[in-house]
Structure 1
Amino acid sequence: MRGLAHFSDFGFNRYLLAPKDDPWHRYDWRSPLSADFLGRVSELMAEASKNAVTVAVAISPGLTVEYCDSRDVEAIMVRFRQLHSIGVREFGLFLDDIPARLQSENDVEKFDSIMQAHSYYCNAVWAEVKKLDAANTLAICPMQYHGKATEEYITEFGQALDPALALIWTGREICSEYLDVSDAKVFKANTNHVPLYWDNYPVNDVAMLHELHVGPIEGREKGLENHSLGYFANPMDRFELSLISLSTIGDYLWDTQGYDAQAAWEYSLTLLMENSDDRAAFRNLLRACFESCLRVNPAPDFGAMLEAASFMWKTGKPTQAGKLVADHANQMISDVATIKSATFSKPQWREESLKWLTKYEAVGTAFLEVAQILSSCGVSANSNLKGSAGDLTKISSIRATLNSDPTRIFGNGLDMTLAELADEIRWSLTA
Structure 2
Amino acid sequence: MQLLGVIEGFYGRPWTAFQRSRLLGWMQGWSMNTYLYAPKDDLYHRARWREAYPETERLSLGELVKAAQQRGVHFVYALAPGLDLNWQDEADRAALLSKMDSMVSLGVRDFALLFDDIPNQADRAAQAAEQVDITHTLRQHLRAQGIDGLFLFCPTEYCGEMAQPSVAESPYLREVARLDGGTEVLWTGPLIVSPHISAESVREVAQVLGRKPLIWDNLHVSDYTIHRLHLGPYGGRLPELRGEVSGILSNPNTPFEPNFAGLHSLADYAAGGAEWDAEESGERALKAWLPEFGPGAELGDLRLLADTLFLPHRLGPRAEMLLRAAEQLTLDSGQADALAQLQAGRAAYRRLLSALEKGSNRELLFDLHPYLVDLNEELTRLIRDAQDAASGNAPSARPYRGGLADKLLELGRGRELS
Note if 1:96 corresponds to 2:110: no
Q: Deviating runs (4+, > 6 A) in structure 1?
A: 308-314, 373-376, 400-407
Query: How far apart in 2 are the matches of 1:405 and 1:322?
Result: 34
Query: How far apart in 2 are the matches of 1:154 and 1:114?
Result: 7
Residues 209-249 of structure 1, C-alpha deviation per residue, up to 9 Å, x if partnerless?
31211111110121222211211111222100112211111
Residues 350-378 of structure 1, C-alpha deviation per residue, up to 9 Å, x if partnerless?
321222212211233234336547867xx
1:356 is aligned, of 371, 379, 388, to 371
- 2:113 is paired with a residue whose SS is strand
Query: How far apart in 2 are the matches of 1:143 and 1:172?
Result: 14
1:17–1:55: 8 Å Cα contact kept in structure 2? yes
1:117 is aligned, of 95, 119, 130, to 130
| TM-score using structure 2 length | 0.79
1:406/1:212 CA distance change after superposition, 3 Å: farther
- TM-superposed CA distance for 1:348, in Å, is 2.7
Query: How far apart in 2 are the matches of 1:122 and 1:305?
Result: 51
Q: Quick one: which amino acid aligns to residue 180 of structure 2? A: D
Note if 1:82 corresponds to 2:102: yes
Q: Which residue of 1 aligns with 2:297?
A: 278
Matches for 1:4-403 after TM superposition, within 5 Å = 4-101=24-121, 113-133=126-146, 135-147=148-160, 149-150=167-168, 152-206=170-224, 208-255=225-272, 257-274=274-291, 275=294, 277-280=296-299, 281-292=301-312, 295-296=313-314, 298-305=315-322, 307=324, 321-333=335-347, 335-340=349-354, 342-344=357-359, 346-369=361-384, 372=387, 390=392, 394=395
TM-align CA RMSD: 3.4
- TM-superposed CA distance for 1:14, in Å, is 0.9
2:329–2:338: 8 Å Cα contact kept in structure 1? no
- TM-superposed CA distance for 1:35, in Å, is 4.5
Q: Quick one: which amino acid aligns to residue 236 of structure 1? A: N
1:145–1:168: 8 Å Cα contact kept in structure 2? yes
Bigger helix share: 1
Query: How far apart in 2 are the matches of 1:337 and 1:406?
Result: 29
Q: Quick one: which amino acid aligns to residue 247 of structure 2? A: G
1:236–1:242: 8 Å Cα contact kept in structure 2? yes
- TM-superposed CA distance for 1:159, in Å, is 2.6
Query: How far apart in 1 are the matches of 2:90 and 2:273?
Result: 44
2:290–2:302: 8 Å Cα contact kept in structure 1? no
Greater displacement, 19-28 / 130-139: 130-139
1:25–1:59: 8 Å Cα contact kept in structure 2? yes
Query: How far apart in 1 are the matches of 2:256 and 2:360?
Result: 17
Query: How far apart in 2 are the matches of 1:406 and 1:303?
Result: 24
2:132–2:178: 8 Å Cα contact kept in structure 1? yes
- TM-superposed CA distance for 1:171, in Å, is 0.9
- 1:26 is paired with a residue whose SS is coil
Query: How far apart in 1 are the matches of 2:125 and 2:157?
Result: 18
Q: Quick one: which amino acid aligns to residue 14 of structure 1? A: T
- 1:15 is paired with a residue whose SS is strand
What percentage of aligned pairs have identical amino acids? 23
1:291/1:168 CA distance change after superposition, 3 Å: closer
1:30/1:371 CA distance change after superposition, 3 Å: closer
- 2:239 is paired with a residue whose SS is coil
Q: Quick one: which amino acid aligns to residue 186 of structure 2? A: I
**Structure 1 runs not aligned, ≥5 long:** 103-107, 377-389, 417-431
Q: How many residues align?
A: 382
Q: Which residue of 2 aligns with 1:421?
A: none
- TM-superposed CA distance for 1:61, in Å, is 1.1
1:119/1:54 CA distance change after superposition, 3 Å: closer
1:325/1:265 CA distance change after superposition, 3 Å: same
Query: How far apart in 2 are the matches of 1:134 and 1:25?
Result: 21
- 2:68 is paired with a residue whose SS is helix
2:157–2:173: 8 Å Cα contact kept in structure 1? no
Query: How far apart in 2 are the matches of 1:310 and 1:125?
Result: 57
- TM-superposed CA distance for 1:175, in Å, is 1.0
Query: How far apart in 2 are the matches of 1:310 and 1:37?
Result: 51
- TM-superposed CA distance for 1:339, in Å, is 1.4
- TM-superposed CA distance for 1:195, in Å, is 0.6
- 1:278 is paired with a residue whose SS is coil
Query: How far apart in 2 are the matches of 1:216 and 1:38?
Result: 35
- 1:290 is paired with a residue whose SS is coil
Q: Which residue of 1 aligns with 2:13?
A: none
2:304–2:319: 8 Å Cα contact kept in structure 1? no
